[in-house]
């Protein structure tokens, strides 16, 4: 439905978005994740045809942002990061203004408004000036202007940023509801935000796509480290033998307790040294109480992919 093709943006000498490619299918809820400055907002501005690319293209159905900018804007609802609102207007006046700008016929305005305020929970504040609303409600007004023309694609740039925890939960619920009938793209620099609502995560770092997949796919594709926690009774110092006897492993910590000790053995996730480690334990006098593999978390994948300096994810 949406194809992003070699999309590139230079701001003078800074390449903010660097030849990115990905597709979005109808009905998907995509999390566009990356640290601050990664190029998320720049990409979304190009997708919504607010900012011309330096190179590449965005195709929506059979339209493209160079030749069909106006048509594409009709298909998309967009809530920019800054959520620009006219503070002196009431919610009603503002939505009336947006409705005119979107060329919604006046005869339809009432029913469109009713639907929009139902979906965004704005009924109780409809006559209030926007300036008097809480940040959570201002964000609802931002969502309302994004959906008023019933677009099939909704793009939200950091929609929960700056909200308090209760407001975050409320906005997330609204977003989940919208996701049931729309194609949704949500950007965030916080993994938990996108993990809570998205089916698929596209990670951008320094203008480049560094990962694209479901949570499970991202974890499976991660070339990071395994950590094996071994709890045992016996002479703790003997674990120094492990890296000598089993090349590729290293001891990342050793904690001696009253009755037992716990060692953490690390190795690259390309390999599984559990059989060798178990054989080694059998060859010693130590008594094994527990051997547990720590599962890689998505936080670790994200952190590793977006580390300062880039893509080093080796031990
Ligand atoms: N209008 C602009 N002029 C110059 N540089 C910009 C402009 N907008 C963004 N940048 C730079 O481009 C990079 C990407 O920015 P942005 O797309 O806003 O990232 P994100 O939304 O992921 O935080 C950053 O280094 C930012 O400083
Ligand atoms: Mg941004």
Cα 292 from Cα 231, distance rounded (Å): 9
Q: Which ligand is nearest to the CA of 39?
A: 1
Which pLDDT belongs to residue 315? 33
pLDDT along the chain (315 residues), means of 10: 96 96 95 96 95 96 93 95 90 96 95 95 96 94 96 96 90 92 94 88 95 84 82 94 94 92 89 92 95 83 74 37
Cα 233 from Cα 285, distance rounded (Å): 9
Q: Which ligand is nearest to the CA of 34?
A: 1
What atom in ligand 1 is closest to the CA of residue 17?
14
Which pLDDT belongs to residue 310? 45
Q: What pTM did the predictor assign?
A: 0.82
Which pLDDT belongs to residue 95? 97
What atom in ligand 1 is closest to the CA of residue 34?
22
User: Domain 2-220 belongs to what architecture?
Assistant: 3-Layer(aba) Sandwich (3.40)
Residue nearest atom 7 in ligand 1 by C-alpha distance:
11
225-295: CATH topology is Alpha-Beta Plaits (3.30.70)
16 Cβ inside 6 Å of ligand 1? yes
Question: Which phi and psi (to 5°) does residue 286 adopt?
Answer: -70, 155
Q: 33 C-alpha to center of ligand 1: Å?
A: 15
Task: Dump strand ranges (E) for 2-54.
Answer: 2-11, 14-24, 29-33
- Ordered by start, the domain boundaries in the chain are 2-220, 225-295
Cα 256 from Cα 133, distance rounded (Å): 56
Which residues make Cβ contacts (< 8 Å) with residue 253, sequence separation at least 6? 262, 263, 264
Q: 37 C-alpha to center of ligand 2: Å?
A: 7
């Amino acid at each position: 439905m949406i194809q992003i093709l070699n999309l590139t943006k230079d701001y003078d000498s800074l390449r903010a978005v660097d030849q990115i490619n990905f597709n979005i299918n109808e009905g998907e809820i995509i999390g566009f994740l990356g640290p601050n400055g990664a190029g998320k907002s720049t990409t979304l501005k190009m997708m919504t045809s607010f900012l011309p690319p330096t190179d590449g293209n965005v195709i929506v159905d059979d339209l493209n942002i160079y030749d069909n900018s106006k048509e594409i804007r009709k298909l998309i609802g967009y809530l920019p990061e800054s959520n620009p609102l006219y503070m002196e207007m009431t919610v009603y006046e503002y939505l009336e203004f947006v409705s005119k700008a979107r060329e919604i016929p006046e005869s339809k305005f009432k029913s469109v408004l009713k639907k929009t305020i139902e979906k965004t929970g704005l009924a109780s504040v409809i006559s209030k000036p926007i300036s008097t609303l809480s940040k959570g409600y201002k964000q609802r007004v931002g969502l309302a202007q994004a959906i008023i023309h019933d677009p099939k694609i909704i793009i939200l740039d950091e929609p929960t940023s700056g909200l308090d925890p209760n407001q975050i939960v409320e906005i997330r619920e609204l977003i989940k509801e919208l996701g049931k009938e729309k194609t949704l793209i949500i950007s965030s620099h916080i993994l938990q935000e996108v993990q809570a609502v998205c089916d698929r995560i596209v990670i951008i770092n320094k203008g480049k796509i560094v990962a694209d997949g479901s949570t499970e796919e991202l974890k499976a594709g991660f070339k990071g480290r395994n950590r094996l926690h071994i709890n045992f009774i016996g002479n703790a110092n003997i674990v120094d033998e492990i890296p000598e006897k089993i090349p590729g492993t290293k001891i990342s910590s050793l904690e001696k307790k009253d009755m037992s000790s716990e060692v953490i053995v690390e190795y690259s996730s390309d390999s599984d040294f559990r059989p060798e480690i178990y054989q080694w334990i059998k060859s010693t006098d130590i008594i094994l109480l527990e051997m547990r593999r720590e599962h890689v978390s998505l936080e670790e994948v994200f952190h590793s992919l977006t580390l300062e300096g880039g893509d080093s994810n080796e031990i």
